[in-house]
Amino acid sequence: MEIRKLQFQGRSTYTVSLPKKWVEGFGLKKGDKLIFNETENSLVVSCLAGRESNEAKSINADTEILSRSILASYLAGFKRIRIFSSERISSGTKNEIKKSVARLNGLQIVEETSNEVLLQDLLDTGELDLRKAVKRAYSICASMQKDAITALKENDKELAKEVIQRDDEVDRLYFLAVRQLRGAISNPQYSLTGLECLDYRMVVKCIEETADACCEIAKKTIELDRGYDLEAFSDICYTIHEQAFAAYLSKNTKSAQALRKKESQVLEMKEKLLKPSISPVLDALVTIAKNGIDIADLVI
């Protein structure tokens, strides 16, 4: 922590000096522009200098963690990702690159040679609406639960497969939201406080985990040889996260507080329905309900 005195110069100008180690640490020099962003309880200063280095990232195609490296670079906010090799990139590696790109919103292959693949982020993050992306992810997730339970009841394996496929879109929106939130911490154009970023991060994680739980129900449906009717139990779990998400968006504390009391009801109902053949489905539904309660807790 550094404490500096505010100085008054001339007739209408206030100035404050920056510690030398800060200037050197951020690679600043005379003439560089600084951004001042006013939040509820603070004044945040950030710099434009050094952001050029975040524009491009190079990754060796021979790395054993290629997919993870591409994802990490995307989440870090790099606009261009160059994947290179001293030799010819194999078709298997190129397929791995294409699968990684398909999981990430806005990322496209713009150039490809025998030993290099260039990925470009074509989204204008400054125009993206984080709230809209989160609402879209939740909408898909909610439909996944409805269809997964219908597939389970009717033993509809094709519908179950569709539910699993829909998880890819939730993942894309999840990664996009995380990328935006990471950028929002240091970029004032998003106008989000640190606490808001943390809450959004927890909400999108709960949504992503709920979508995964829906996939587990769908996968179990494909394994079963007959249908099971768990609509009543699913409806209770669905109502919890539906009301929790609405309470989070509207900051309705009273509604959020009431949801905490429903956790015991869910657990009691699970015990009454417990059968070895559908135990994974019941566990998934409990996970869905708990994710809803976790979202509600952010409002309380």
- 172/159 Cα distance (integer angstroms): 21
Confidence check: pLDDT of 296 > 80: yes
SS3 (DSSP) at 14: strand
Tokens for 275, please give them.
């059968």
> Of the ranges 72-86, 113-127, 154-168, 186-200, which one carries the lowest mean pLDDT score?
186-200
Of the candidates 100, 102, 104, which has an alpha carbon nearest to the alpha carbon of residue 83?
Answer: 100
Could you tell me the strand order of the sheet in which 80-84 lies?
A: 56-60, 80-84, 116-121, 107-112
Would you say residue 43 has pLDDT above 80?
no
Provide CB contacts within 8 A for 43, sequence distance 6+: 36, 37
Tell me, letter by letter, the H, E, C secondary structure of 120-154: EECCCHHHCCHHHHHHHHHHHHHHHHHHHHHHHHH
Per-residue pLDDT of 4-37, as tens digits, reads: 777 767 666 778 777 776 665 555 667 766 666 5
Tens of pLDDT, residue by residue over 206-261, are 999 999 999 999 999 999 999 999 999 999 999 999 999 999 999 999 999 889 88
Cβ-in-10-Å burial (0-12, 13-18, 19+) of 49 comes to middle
Q: Structural domains in the chain?
A: 7-51 (2.10.260), 52-125 (3.30.110), 128-297 (1.20.58.220)
Q: Residue 299 in contact with residue 246, Cβ under 8 Å? A: no
